């Protein structure tokens, strides 16, 4: 019934007038991660939807993006990002707020689709429209583009070095654990190694390693830690590169 009502609302909006899409808008980055939104060269106010009219929407107030919302296949709100508080919110099928971990555990398919498809699609659309908007404002951007490329390469190189260093440390610690396990080292010695690993990395794989687990689980935990940390570093470096380019481009 909810699904029918959801689509009825969408059809009603379509009948009353054209639905503005996220891809119809232009964007400009401001201070403190504020995103200004324009439509036909004027400040946009209201809601804009994904191209399919149901997967996600943004809410804009007087030209400033305030909220992003993503929905499941039945039209239920699953995820929201509050731009004012920079806070991520997740919801169950009844509309009650849940934690990120609960969202991941209770709705793995929804969570995976959100992280791997929807958020990437939104970023791609907005980033493309930011670039196009900036080109319109400053047609002579050869030097800026060259500087942007330079900054991006520097941050990428720094990220690769940082990732390689941390991955090497992780490999060493897990190698000690696996070697101790294979050599039938005393439980106390293995426990010391495991406690050190858990205290540092358990938040990445979401559970605690113990001495009686199979080596394959240790390998899986190590790979999870390495991949998650790599993504964190790349996101951090990407933001640092964007901040530098923004400062060079706009002067603040």
At 36 the three-state DSSP class reads: strand
Q: How far apart are CA 90 and CA 98, in angstroms?
A: 5
Residues 6+ apart with CB under 8 A from 250: none
Q: What are phi and psi of 54, to 5 degrees?
A: -150, -20
Domain ranges of the chain: 2-137, 143-250
Per-position b or e across 201-227, b if 16+ CB within 10 A of its CB: bbebbeeebebeeeeeebeebbeebbe
Query: What pLDDT is recorded for position 23?
Result: 92
Q: What's the pTM value of the predicted model, to 2 decimals? A: 0.48
At 86 the three-state DSSP class reads: coil
How distant, in Å, are the alpha carbons of 175, 208, 216 from that of 189? 14, 17, 20
Q: How far apart are CA 172 and CA 168, in angstroms?
A: 6
Q: What is the pLDDT along the chain (252 residues), one digit of tens a residue?
A: 455 445 544 544 444 456 899 999 999 887 777 888 998 878 898 999 999 999 999 999 888 999 999 999 999 999 999 988 889 999 999 999 999 999 999 999 999 999 999 999 999 998 888 866 665 554 444 444 456 677 777 888 888 889 999 999 999 999 988 888 888 767 788 889 999 999 999 999 889 999 888 888 999 999 999 999 988 988 888 887 777 776 665 555
Residues 6+ apart with CB under 8 A from 3: 74, 75
Query: What pLDDT is recorded for position 169?
Result: 92
Q: How far apart are CA 5 and CA 47, in angstroms?
A: 19
Residues 6+ apart with CB under 8 A from 252: 31
Q: What's the CA dihedral at 229, 157, 152, 120 to 10 degrees?
A: -30
């Amino acid at each position: 019934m909810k699904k029918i009502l959801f689509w009825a609302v969408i059809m009603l909006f379509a009948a009353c007038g054209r639905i503005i899409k996220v891809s119809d808008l232009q964007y400009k980055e401001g201070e403190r991660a504020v995103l200004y939104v324009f439509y036909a060269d004027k400040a946009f106010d209201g809601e804009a939807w994904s191209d399919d009219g149901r997967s996600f929407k943004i809410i804009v107030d007087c030209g400033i993006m305030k909220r992003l919302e993503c929905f499941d296949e039945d039209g239920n709100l699953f995820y929201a990002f509050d731009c004012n508080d920079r806070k991520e919110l997740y919801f169950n099928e009844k509309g009650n707020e849940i934690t990120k971990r609960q969202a991941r555990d209770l709705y793995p398919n929804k969570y995976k689709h959100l992280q791997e498809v929807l958020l990437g699609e939104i970023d791609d659309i907005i980033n493309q429209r930011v670039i196009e908007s900036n080109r319109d404002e400053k047609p002579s951007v050869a030097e800026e583009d060259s500087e942007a490329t330079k900054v991006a390469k520097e941050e990428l190189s720094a990220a690769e070095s940082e990732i390689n260093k941390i991955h090497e440390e992780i490999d060493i610690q897990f190698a000690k654990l696996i070697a101790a396990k294979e050599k039938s080292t005393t439980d106390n010695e293995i426990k010391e190694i495991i406690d050190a690993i858990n205290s540092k990395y358990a938040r990445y794989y979401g559970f605690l390693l113990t001495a009686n687990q199979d080596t394959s689980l240790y390998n899986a935990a190590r790979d999870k830690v390495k991949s998650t940390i790599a993504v964190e570093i790349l996101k951090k470096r990407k933001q640092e590169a964007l901040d530098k380019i923004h400062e060079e481009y706009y002067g603040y």
